[in-house]
Amino acid sequence: MESLIQQAGLGDILAKVRNQERLSLDDGKRLFTCPDILALGYLANMVRERKNGNQAYFIYNQHINYSNICTNLCKFCAFGKEKGDALAYQMTVEEIKEKVQQRLDEPITEIHIVGGIHPDLPYSYYLEILQGVKEVRPDVHIQAFTCVEIQHLADLNKKSVADTLEELKEAGLGSLPGGGAEVFHPRIREITCPNKLSGEGWLRVAKTAHQHGLRTNATMLYGHIETIEERVEHLDALRQTQDETGGFLTYIPLAFHPKNTAMSEYSRTTGMEDLKNIAVARLMLDNFDHIKAYWVMIGSKLAQVALSFGADDLDGTVKEEIITRMAGGESEQALGHKTLIRLIKEAGREPVERDTLYEVLARF
Ligand code: V47
């Protein structure tokens, strides 16, 4: 294997990985341009096994997208709709509680709640969602509202992000999902999501959450117009923030799905790009404990392979995911416990059911 890595021109990076030295931005660019996926995978797997051994995590979770009405209307998104659009919807708090109620017999430990930036739902609605879900399922961990939604809620609340997060915590918020990060570089935001919170703004909200005891996830939406430099800068910004706060739980690369978006002329990502984004993230994000291969976006078969290319987590049972499906995602709607365990076992890993904060709930 070592000669393969030398042949791929990555001998110096192998030495750094062995010595647990931080990779430079230039190393990151070289990794992204390296065509030798096995060499990348070998390097990423060294870090993956050092941090997580043979374990591969999954979670029993439920996704609820309370509304797709959105003022941002990002070009890469097929989910967001203008108010009045035939496909626009919004759930009442009662409907959300009903969704939670319907699955009370399942051992769900996390409810993941995100939606669009709605033009006129009041701040109280979001507090009531959290309180309502907790009323129906008091023990569940609510992972809700991206950094972009949190900034919007603080604006609605006419208070600081810090004070708003404290109120949301009081109402039942447990942690923040990683969406809305897209690619931080202003060039990408200007073209694809000019109305959205800036990259700096996203990082500021994430830092504030960490300072207030809320862990958060991080993502990058790749496979559209971003350059390799912009990807590497994005990873570096996350790495620097993690150095400061240690508050990120996991990083999830999100593969762009073009169908039904204003960028539908682009092609879907390939398996090679998907694996590369996982492997390079594992190598660059030396201060992140976990890298998630989100099976909804890359398919359960490639997610299984990704467990040997840097990923240590498959996310979860999910069910009723809408954001990827609206953009042409063709993965299964949900994966059962048994399927997740089988996928992990057949990848040669030990299946570990976790809670949101990566506490071990069961081993199989
Ligand atoms: O913020 C939007 C992205 C995100 C498309 O934190 C798209 O554990 C691909 O962040 N093609 C929402 N991606 C999903 C998300 C997420 C999912 C699962 C787990 C976690 C976590 C977070 O999806 C959005 C945006 O970045 N997105 N449109 C699209 N067409």
The atom number, within ligand 1, closest to the CA of 296 reads: 18
The pLDDT tens digits of the residues spanning 190-231 come to 999 999 999 999 999 999 999 999 999 999 999 999 999 999
Q: Yes or no: say if 58 and 107 are a contact pair by the CB < 8 Å rule.
A: no
Residue nearest to atom 27 of ligand 1 (CA): 77
Per-residue model confidence (pLDDT) at position 330 = 81
Per-residue model confidence (pLDDT) at position 95 = 98
Q: Which of 256, 323, 324, 326 to mutate to test the pocket of ligand 1 (most atoms within 8 A of CB)?
A: 323
Q: Which residue positions in the chain have pLDDT lower than 70?
A: none
* Residue among 340, 231, 333 at smallest CA distance from 292: 340
Q: What is the Å distance from ligand 1's center to 254 Cα?
A: 6
Enter the pTM of the model: 0.97
Per-residue model confidence (pLDDT) at position 319 = 76
Burial code (b: 16+ CB inside 10 Å, e: under 16) for 74-112 equals: bebbbbbbeeeeeebebbebeebbebbeebeeeebbbbb
The pLDDT tens digits of the residues spanning 25-84 come to 999 999 999 999 999 999 999 999 999 999 999 999 999 999 999 999 999 999 999 999
Neighbour tally for 244: CB within 10 Å? 11
Q: Which residues contact 136 (CB under 8 A, 6 or more apart)?
A: 97, 100, 101, 104
Name every protein residue with a CB atom under 6 angstroms from any ligand 1 atom.
76-78, 146, 177-180, 182, 217, 219, 221, 252, 254, 256-257, 261, 294, 315, 323-324, 327
Task: Give the H/E segment covering residue 361.
Answer: strand 360-363
Q: What is the Å distance from ligand 1's center to 323 Cα?
A: 7
Report how far residue 190's alpha carbon sits from residue 193's, in angstroms, rounded to the nearest whole number.
Answer: 6
Name the strands in the sheet holding 350-354, side by side, starting at the edge strand that comes first in the sequence. 313-316, 55-59, 350-354, 360-363
The CA dihedral of 319, 320, 323, 325, to the nearest 10 degrees, is 90
The atom number, within ligand 1, closest to the CA of 327 reads: 30
What angle in degrees, to the nearest 10, is found between the helix axes of 37-52 and 11-18?
0
CATH number for the region 54-363 comes to 3.20.20.70
Q: Which of 59, 63, 77 to mutate to test the pocket of ligand 1 (most atoms within 8 A of CB)?
A: 77
Per-residue model confidence (pLDDT) at position 331 = 81
Domain ranges of the chain: 54-363
| Beta-sheet pairing, 173-176 with 215-222 | parallel
Q: Which of 254, 265, 356 to mutate to test the pocket of ligand 1 (most atoms within 8 A of CB)?
A: 254
Q: Yes or no: say if 77 and 263 are a contact pair by the CB < 8 Å rule.
A: no
Q: Which residues contact 46 (CB under 8 A, 6 or more apart)?
A: 17, 18
Q: What is the Å distance from ligand 1's center to 71 Cα?
A: 17
Q: What is the Å distance from ligand 1's center to 116 Cα?
A: 12
